[in-house]
Amino acid sequence: MKRRNYLKLNGTILFSSFFSCIKRPPDAGSKQTTGILTKVKRAMLTMQRASWEQGVAAQAFLESGDTEIVYLMAKEAVLRQTAEGRLSVVYTDNGVTDPAASGEAVLYAANKWGDDDLKKGAEKMLAYLLEKAPRTSSGVISHTLDTRQIWIDSMYMAPPFIAVSGKYDEAIKQINGIHETLWNPAKKLYSHQWSDDQKEFIIEKCWGVGNGWAIAGMSRVLKALPVSMVNEKELLIHRIKTTIDSCLLYIRPDHLFFNIIDDPSSFIETNLSQMIAYTIFRGISENWLEAEKYLDAARRMRDAAIRKVDASGFVQGVCGAPFFNRPGRATEGQAFFILMEAAFRKGNF
């Protein structure tokens, strides 16, 4: 699994100029912004997708209300399911938690359309996570098959599906285990990768998109938990707020971030702004974030993301596929634009 391992290297310093005089994009209800969103969706559907990319794309359509597309993507996720239960696997795939990113969409489509194949697919994915998936010595589901590793990406990939499947305690167990391993208490941000076999960090740097995966994943689990789990909800809110607050300390004048949040020598990246804005819009509309503290920042990050959409509908400047070692475009960058817009419009911001 080569993606994102570039962070082990120092890399070439990339430069980008600050924006000095930029017009505000059109408001959300305008025909122009709706047209941009349509282009972003269309562009995403053309992109080749690995397991986690199929999952985040399906989740974006689910949250934006495009349920017929969700059904079609869920059918494809189950078609590509491995014998042991991993969804959306295309040929070789070393991911353990990545395939679970399709889980909520498959479960939703199974229930909405009464599709037995999808129901079985969701059940197999859940059983794999709970019973078969390799785990670390602390009981955290390994991110990878070949060695026991914990990646911050997993915070988004597996716990939300586990939670919407009703296994609330297991979802919290996974979040707590990932947090305890990867949280950097000095920076109040998440490091990227830990080797449980070697008992050392593979990548200790605080990757922007990784922290975005964390807060977005925790926000989905938070919504899925029953009202009785008050303490768990409060803990998730605290962690999300703390991470957002720490990220915002490093926001650039153009309302974007460096790829390594606290490293100005890394390239400028678009997706973390989308991921934070998405989480803030959700948090305000669900009444666990304060609008007076966070809404203006979220709007400005959304504006910055809109400016990065090109004429074809590609969100440019995200941490780019396929190797995630440069600014470019990626399915997750498209998906989080859609997720951000869905949360923005739901909250009538």
pLDDT tens-digit readout, 136-167:
999 999 999 999 999 999 999 999 999 999 99
Q: How many residues does the chain have?
A: 349
| The pLDDT value given to residue 23 | 44
Q: Are 315 and 337 in contact (CB under 8 A)?
A: yes
- Dump pLDDT digits (tens) for 215-261: 999 999 999 999 999 999 999 999 999 999 999 999 999 999 999 99
Residues of the domain holding 136: 5-10+19-344
Domain count, the chain: 1
pLDDT score of 286 more than 70: yes
| Lowest mean pLDDT, pick from 15-19, 41-45, 85-89, 323-327 | 15-19
Between the CA of residue 141 and those of 94, 129, 135, 223, 349, what are the distances in Å? Answer: 13, 7, 4, 22, 37
Is residue 349, in this structure, part of any structural domain at all?
no
Model confidence, pTM? 0.92
- Which has more confidence, 8 or 272? 272
For 10-69, the pLDDT digits (tens) are: 433 333 333 333 344 555 456 668 899 999 999 999 999 999 999 999 999 999 999 999
- CA–CA separation, 274 vs 157, rounded Å? 18
At 34 the pLDDT is 86
User: Which of 218, 88, 226 is CA-nearest to residue 160?
Assistant: 218
When pLDDT is averaged across residues 307-312 and rounded to a whole number, the result is 98
**pLDDT grade for 6, boundaries at 50, 70 and 90:** very low
Domain with residue 289: its CATH number is: 1.50.10.10
Residue 135 is predicted with a pLDDT of 98
Percent of the chain with pLDDT over 70: 91
For residue 263, being part of any structural domain is answered with yes
Domain membership flag for residue 177? yes
Q: Is 328 helix (H, G, I), strand (E, B) or coil?
A: strand
Mean pLDDT taken over the chain: 93
Is 187 a member of any domain?
yes
Per residue in 238-251, pLDDT tens?
Answer: 999 999 999 999 99
